[in-house]
Chains A and B, each alone.
Chain A
Amino acid sequence: MGAHKGRPDAIIMVTHLLRLSPTVAQAIAAHAEATYPDECVGLLFGSLDGELKTALSAYAVENRWAGQVSLAESDDPSSRRDRFYLDPRDYLRADREARASGLEIVGCYHSHPDAPATPSERDRVGAQAIGGTSFAFVIQSVRAGAAAELASWLLVDSGARFTEEELQLWP
């Protein structure tokens, strides 16, 4: 990775961006509040233009966590307060609906009840099939039942870590 000619000191930074319509942000917040104190989960429908993701609608999915996959030694198959599972059958149904309306699945969202909107180690393990910069991993924090901060992350370095991306309300 050499520096650009003529700009030897320039630091090249690629900023990834998720544009989210305000109605999508409101739908995620409402879903997260409705399922509190359990975690909610859903998908984001929109468009993908190169690296730019635009989410135009939120598709709520039922949190079907019942210990289907192993995320940690402390997995409690009955606790949806600190676990979520987006069943592939729900993803398949959503994908068909998105394609039928000319949209793509550009990301997913879930809530962190009474916790910050930062991904956990369990999130990293469970996101291994959706790595890369073309799929947003959105987290809605909920505190005492009220939606708090919202953040979007990307799983990078072959699934080794999350990096936060810019989240912009648009239009």
Chain B
Amino acid sequence: MAVTITIPTALRQFAGGSASVALDAEDVGALLRGLVEQHPSLGKQIFGDDGKLRSFVNIYVGDEDIRYLQGEATPVKDGETVSIIPAIAGGDL
């Protein structure tokens, strides 16, 4: 079962320049583990020291944030696209 995972521009330097990777996985957790296995330096970009997703890193299955689905247990289907999406914030004061 191949699922496509898209890599945002800023993270491609840790993924050998790939814009997307296709992997076999049944849920988001397995997909992310497979991705990090292929590109180990992506690991600390996506996960914090506690092993959880970093706060400015979001994972979408289709149009839905996995935080509002079943987290890393969210199932993924053949042909589906999972996106790693950054949140960006800031301010002057």
Contact = CB atoms under 8 A, between A and B. Distances in A.
A and B form one complex: yes
Interface of A: 39, 41, 48, 65, 68-69, 71-72, 74, 82-89, 91-92, 95, 99, 104-106, 108, 110, 112-113, 115, 119-120, 122-135
Contacts of A74: 93
A95 to B, nearest CB: 7
Contacts, number: 114
Interface residues of B, number: 26
A82 B87 contact: no
Interface string B49-93: 000001111101001010000000000000000010111111111
A115 B90 CA distance: 14
Interface of B: 6, 8-10, 12-13, 19, 45, 54-58, 60, 63, 65, 83, 85-93
B88 A127 contact: yes
Contacts of A48: 9
